[in-house]
């Protein structure tokens, strides 16, 4: 993070995005906690952006609403632009939806009514938000009976004086009004459309239109309007509000946020508070342009949608990198984001079933062949095994298509590169060839891992074998994910460093996975930092612990990954954070009385966000009643420490005592 103004004492990072980083800070001038956002240097260096920032911040200080985060102050210090706002500790609405699923309709209407009230206030001073979505709605207390919501992050707000980045269409694809695809200017009705999408997300747990960027754009242009089943009081009126809020024609929508707020207030009074979540089916997706109803290529259908999509693509090309930044928005590291590359939401660590909770994946021998099985998390236990992949000897996992759910990936040598097999829960196993852009191809049997090194929301294939036993150079190969496959493997890094282990982790919270490297003596860790385009070595630094067999994850939920070392000798679980040019170590569980048997776990530790709360947890294994039974012991993270392990059930296999948890890396 850039240097901070001296009046602020900076603490925990809350998140980082394309436009800057946000930390909890103490404003020493007024002795109060604030959320301090410092804009990225590459943006703040442009005079046009600096002018935009000052003008927007001045406008935002005029807002007066209990549902808009208060702007306390803004300024510039040593060339760094900053803004200090009200600190809201309850987290994002998007986090709540991912962790607990759809809201009951009364609560969904309540929250969206408060967002509409916030827009009424912002529109009154001439500000269009233009990026209303769950990650830009904060909650005072997610456990409260009556939720209190705040609309935040006006990083791409518009005051009517062209304050957005030139050439860009601001907003997030899943919540972008259809007229914006053809380049029409934003208006109050575009914010109102986004509230309709937000309302559906609260009711269904996902945006109204999903899939690739083109699928989402066509959905907004031509897709059916989402509707809930009219099975209870107030639901017919709820459907009328959805139809009017999300009307394709702006003239058919509520024309002011005040009108929308009044309609939602009436709904809130009509829908019973005790009504459970509806979990409605998504709207039927329109056919892609160029397909007839049978799926065969033929007469073009959906021409208006195709024209709109092409117009949107034209805006992206004209806007270049800046347009991509505007479409990405300014999410924190653990939020939903939509990038031009196709990412729609951040994957929950370990989630292979798509329910928002991390599962346990194991690789074992069933007596005839190697297989990979998934034990789905219920939030308090692991369920029975379900086989997902068979016949693979080296299995890792990652979110290849950026849909928020992880897939299993097996890597083996191929005829002209590597043979990659991909499988998902409930899907078919498929195999593809990944070429190599070099005659000196790597050994594909070691060092395979999945990590989003390019920052597009899709995990790429990385080959980085340990070299401490061979004496060869340490080489990193990268095959960028295309969503349904991979580009050719390319050599992206080579050095003489001795590396015993390499794992992918976003240690700086910038949205691009880096590579954490362990030296053979296990006393130092290095980092190859990714900026989405290249890897840069920052050297090796002491950890003040013995980093054997490290695992990584976002254990405190701040958007940046930490390194965990389970030190069975000292009976401690140590969390390592990257702080500038050093590793900061902290003991999260002390087992000096040997109550939790940290010394033995057969196999080793797995990382999974088992309860879907955004904070990764640890899974270890203890002996069961028979030679091939293990008990799964879960250490749940509070964000500050690990709870004592809880037994989440047993696992029995015909595996001759061989099985391993499947992680994002395999060394």
User: Which domains can be identified in the chain, with CATH numbers?
Assistant: 8-86 (3.30.200.20), 92-159+169-270 (1.10.510.10), 348-652 (2.120.10)
Q: State the Cα–Cα distance between residues 388 and 353, nearest whole angstrom.
A: 11
Give the residue carrying structure tokens 């362990």.
Answer: 518
CA 130/CA 119 separation, integer angstroms = 10
- Asked whether the beta carbons of 351 and 553 are under 8 A apart, the reply is no
* DSSP 8-state symbol, 128: B
What's the gap between Cα 407 and its chain centre? 15
Q: Give the range with max mean pLDDT: 338-342, 389-393, 618-622.
A: 618-622
Q: What is the pLDDT of residue 596?
A: 65
- Give residues with Cβ within 8 angstroms of 80, minimum separation 6: 2, 3, 4, 5, 38, 39, 41, 44
pLDDT in the model for residue 440: 61
pLDDT band at 180 (very low <50, low <70, confident <90, very high): confident
Q: Is residue 131 annotated as part of the catalytic site, yes or no?
A: yes
pLDDT at 601 over 80: no
CA–CA separation, 446 and 483 (whole Å): 24
Burial category of 487 from C-beta neighbours within 10 Å (exposed 0-12, middle 13-18, buried 19 and up): middle
- pLDDT of 345 reads 46
pLDDT of 375 reads 92
Out of 26-30, 70-74, 115-119, 565-569, pick the least confident. Answer: 565-569
- Output the CA–CA distances (angstroms, integers) from residue 513 to 54, 442, 533, 576, 666, in the order listed: 32, 21, 11, 16, 16
Contact 466, 499 (CB under 8 A): yes
Closest CA to 115 of 328, 265, 277: 265
Spatial contact of 537 and 528, defined as CB atoms under 8 Å apart: yes
pLDDT tens digits, one per residue of 85-110 = 889 988 899 989 988 899 999 999 99
Q: 624 versus 210: which is more confidently predicted?
A: 210
SS3 at position 274 = coil
The DSSP code for 486 is B
For 81, half-sphere exposure in the C-beta direction (CA atoms, 13 angstrom radius) is 21
Q: Rounded to whole angstroms, how far apart are CA atoms 526 and 251?
A: 57
Contact 325, 172 (CB under 8 A): no
- Strand 646-652 and strand 659-661: the pairing is unpaired
> Between residues 57 and 232, which one has the greater pLDDT?
232
Residue with tokens 């760094």: 80
Whether 150 shows a pLDDT value over 50: the answer reads yes
Q: Say which residue, 309 or 412, is predicted with more confidence.
A: 412
Cα–Cα dist 528/539, whole Å: 8
d(CA 287, CA 160): 36
In this prediction, residue 151 carries a pLDDT of: 93
441-451 burial string, b = 16+ CB within 10 Å, else e? bbebeebbbbb
For 266-381, where are the E strands, in sequence order? 360-365, 370-377
* Better-scored residue on pLDDT, 300 or 266: 266
**Residue 332's pLDDT band (boundaries 50, 70, 90)?**
very low
Taking each helix axis as running N to C, give the angle between helix 105-124 and helix 188-204, from 0 to 180 degrees, rounded to the nearest 10: 160
> Which of 9-23, 238-252, 401-415, 528-542 is modeled with the greatest confidence?
238-252
Q: In what order do the strands lie in the sheet with 448-451?
A: 490-495, 474-479, 460-463, 448-451, 665-666
Mean pLDDT of 480-498: 89
pLDDT > 80? residue 653: no
**pLDDT exceeds 60 at position 215:** yes
Q: Which of 280, 281, 282, 287 lies closest to 215 in space, CA to CA?
A: 287
Residue 628 has what pLDDT?
Answer: 66
Q: Which of 515, 536, 510, 535 is nearest to 525 (CA)?
A: 515
Residues 562-590: tens digit of each pLDDT: 999 887 566 788 899 988 778 888 999 88
Distance of alpha carbon 311 from alpha carbon 627, whole angstroms: 63
Least confident of 124-128, 475-479, 650-654: 650-654
Tokens for 455, please give them: 């920052």
d(CA 613, CA 636): 10
| Active-site hit among 31, 64, 95, 131 | 131
For 5, 40, 74, 355, the CA distances from 77, given in Å and listed in that order, are: 5, 13, 10, 44
pLDDT, averaged across the chain:
79
pLDDT band at 436 (very low <50, low <70, confident <90, very high): confident
Max mean pLDDT among 119-123, 418-422, 596-600 falls in 119-123
Cross-strand bridge partners of residue 576? 563, 585
Does residue 382 have a pLDDT over 60?
Answer: yes
Check if the beta carbon of residue 156 is closer than 8 Å to that of residue 171. yes
Q: Where are the alpha helices (DSSP H) in 101-182?
A: 105-124, 178-181
Q: Bigger pLDDT: 303 or 327? A: 303
């Amino acid at each position: 993070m850039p240097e901070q103004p001296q009046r602020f004492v900076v603490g925990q990072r809350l998140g980082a995005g394309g436009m800057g980083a946000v930390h909890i800070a103490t404003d020493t001038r007024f002795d109060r906690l604030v959320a301090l956002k410092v804009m990225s240097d590459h943006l703040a260096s442009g005079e046009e952006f600096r002018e935009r920032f000052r003008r927007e911040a001045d406008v935002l200080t005029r807002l007066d609403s209990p549902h808009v985060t208060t702007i306390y102050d803004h300024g510039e210090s040593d060339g760094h632009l900053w803004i200090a706002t009200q600190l809201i500790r309850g987290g994002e609405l998007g986090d709540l939806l991912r962790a607990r699923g759809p809201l009951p309709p009364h609560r969904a209407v309540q929250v969206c009514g408060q967002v509409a009230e916030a827009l009424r206030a912002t529109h009154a001073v001439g500000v269009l938000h233009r990026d209303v979505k769950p990650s830009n709605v904060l909650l005072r207390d997610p456990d409260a009976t009556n939720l209190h919501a705040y609309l935040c992050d006006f990083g791409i707000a518009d005051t009517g004086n062209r304050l957005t980045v030139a050439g860009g269409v601001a907003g997030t694809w899943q919540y972008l009004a259809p007229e914006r695809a053809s380049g029409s200017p934003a208006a109050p009705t575009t914010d109102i459309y986004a509230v309709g999408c937000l309302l559906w997300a609260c009711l269904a747990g996902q945006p109204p239109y999903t899939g690739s960027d083109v699928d989402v754009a066509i959905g907004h242009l031509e897709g059916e309007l989402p509707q809930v089943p009219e099975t209870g009081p107030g639901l017919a009126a709820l459907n009328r509000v959805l139809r009017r809020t999300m009307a394709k024609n702006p003239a058919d929508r509520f024309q002011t946020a005040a009108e929308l707020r009044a309609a939602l207030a009436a709904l809130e009074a009509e829908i019973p508070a005790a009504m459970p979540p509806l979990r409605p089916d998504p709207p039927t997706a329109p056919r892609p342009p160029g397909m007839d109803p049978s799926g065969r290529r033929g007469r073009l259908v959906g021409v208006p949608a195709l024209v709109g999509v092409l117009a949107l693509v034209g805006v992206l090309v004209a806007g270049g990198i800046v347009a991509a930044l505007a479409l990405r928005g300014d999410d924190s590291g653990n939020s939903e984001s939509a990038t031009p590359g196709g990412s729609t939401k951040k994957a929950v660590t370990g989630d292979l079933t798509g329910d928002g909770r991390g599962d346990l994946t194991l690789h074992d021998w069933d007596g005839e062949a190697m297989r990979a099985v998934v034990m789905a998390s219920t939030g308090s236990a692991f369920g029975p095994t379900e086989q997902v992949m068979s016949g693979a000897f080296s299995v890792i996992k990652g979110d290849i298509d950026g849909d928020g759910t992880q897939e299993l990936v097996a890597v083996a040598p191929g005829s002209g590169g590597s043979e990659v097999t991909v499988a998902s829960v409930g899907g078919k196993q498929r195999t593809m060839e990944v070429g190599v852009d070099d005659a000196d191809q790597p050994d594909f049997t070691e060092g395979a891992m999945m990590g989003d090194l390019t920052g597009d929301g899709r995990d790429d294939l990385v080959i980085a074998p340990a070299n401490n036993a061979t004496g060869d150079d340490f080489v990193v190969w990268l095959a960028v994910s295309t969503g349904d496959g991979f580009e050719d493997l390319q050599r992206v890094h080579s050095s003489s460093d001795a590396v015993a282990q390499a794992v992918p982790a976003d240690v700086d919270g910038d949205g691009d996975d880096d590579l954490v490297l362990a030296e053979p003596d296990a006393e130092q860790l290095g980092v190859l930092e990714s900026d989405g385009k290249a890897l840069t070595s920052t050297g090796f630094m002491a950890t003040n612990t013995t980093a054997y067999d490290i695992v990584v994850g976002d254990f405190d939920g701040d958007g940046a990954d930490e390194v965990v070392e389970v030190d069975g000798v000292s009976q401690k679980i140590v969390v390592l954070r990257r702080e500038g040019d050093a590793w900061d170590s902290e003991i999260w569980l002390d087992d000096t009385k040997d109550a939790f048997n940290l010394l033995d776990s057969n196999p080793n530790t797995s990382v999974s966000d088992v309860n879907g709360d955004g904070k990764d947890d640890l899974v270890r294994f203890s002996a069961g009643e028979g030679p091939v039974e293990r008990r799964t012991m879960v250490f749940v993270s509070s964000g500050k420490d690990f709870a004592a392990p809880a037994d989440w059930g047993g696992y029995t296999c015909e595996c001759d005592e061989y099985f391993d948890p499947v992680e994002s890396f395999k060394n």
